[in-house]
Structure 1
Amino acid sequence: MVLSLQTLFYEDLSLGQTESLTKIVSASDVVGFAEVSGDRNPIHLSEHFAARTPFRTRIAHGLYTASLISALLGTRLPGPGAIYLSQTLKFRAPVRIGDEVVVSVTIAELIERGHRARLDCLCKVGDTVVLEGEATVKVPSRSEMAETAGREPEDG
């Protein structure tokens, strides 16, 4: 999954604007997420262990699925320069290895003060909602970008 970058400014956004991505969850995605996050719960990593759970098989980390929302916000809507301010998540169903997850974000509210956008977030496997929530992001405006483009970088 390589998403092309799309940079949108606050002025480019409109209510109902939507972007989506599709990702087939692989075993290596789940193992990699376990390594990066430190969450080595055997329900994600061991078929033997997972077979004795209500899911009967390994499942992806809930936050792995949520990270696909982050990918969409950071690359497509609104894209590079967006700053995550908050995220709510409701996990509705498990995501299994091999599942095709469709992730979508839709602009639900535009807040002029601070150039913020609230987006409805939805992840589905087939017709089943597996995760839903909302995100609030700060979105760069054209005027802010013009102001900072003329400044010298600060030593840090």
Structure 2
Amino acid sequence: MLDNQPRGTICIEDIEIGMTRSLRKTVTDHDIELFGEVSTDHNPVHFDDAYAKDTIFEGRIAHGMLTAGLVSAVIGEQLPGHGSIYLGQTLKFMAPVRPGDTVVAQVTVTDIDHAKRRVGLDCQCTVGDTVVLKGEAKVLAPSRKFD
């Protein structure tokens, strides 16, 4: 399930402090399998119930970067959207995401440098009321001047 806001582009000229965009996705076993294949990360904490049961998580979890990828999707598809270029990202993983969890990834504009087309974003992922990931991103936003 992917429930997100309209995709497209918000140019630097139209971005404002406080703008927020988000998406909602239920993480499935298939998502975890695909991410493992693409990333080549086959850590058994993601794939083996018996192994994962004996870890600090007491069960299987999704890859942290799969969750972080949802932030990337919001940035690349919604805010600023198509044409955005990642300049940097900080991440702090706060809690595990498990198969079947519905993650809400949200980004909020915190600062704008119009001259350099740079946008600062607060990034957060939640499962219910639990923050599972937080961080900040810097992106180069598209501009109508360069269309």
* Matches for 1:86-125 after TM superposition, within 5 Å: 86-125=88-127
CA–CA distance in structure 1, aligned partners of residues 62 and 115 of structure 2: 37
Letter in 1 for 2:87: L
- Structure 2 segments unaligned to the other structure (5+ residues): none
Three-state SS of the structure 2 residue aligned to 1:85 is: strand
Q: CA RMSD in A?
A: 1.1
TM-score if structure 2 supplies the norm length? 0.95
CA–CA distance in structure 1, aligned partners of residues 102 and 20 of structure 2: 19
- How far did 1:5 drift? 2.2
| Misfit runs of 4+, over 4 Å | none
- How far did 1:113 drift? 2.8
Three-state SS of the structure 2 residue aligned to 1:70 is: helix
Three-state SS of the structure 1 residue aligned to 2:38 is: helix
Letter in 2 for 1:24: T
> May I ask how many residue pairs the two structures share in their alignment?
145
Between stretches 13-22 and 108-117, larger displacement belongs to: 108-117
Three-state SS of the structure 2 residue aligned to 1:140 is: coil
- How far did 1:24 drift? 0.5
TM-score if structure 1 supplies the norm length? 0.90
> How much identity, in percent, do the aligned residues show?
50
- Structure 1 segments unaligned to the other structure (5+ residues): 146-156
1:44 aligns with 46
Three-state SS of the structure 1 residue aligned to 2:111 is: strand
Measured against aligned partners, the alpha-carbon deviations of 1:19-50 in whole angstroms (never above 9, x if no partner) come to 01111110000011000001110000111110
2:3, 2:25 within 8 Å by CA — same for their partners in 1? no
Question: Which has the greater radius of gyration?
Answer: 1
1:142 aligns with 144
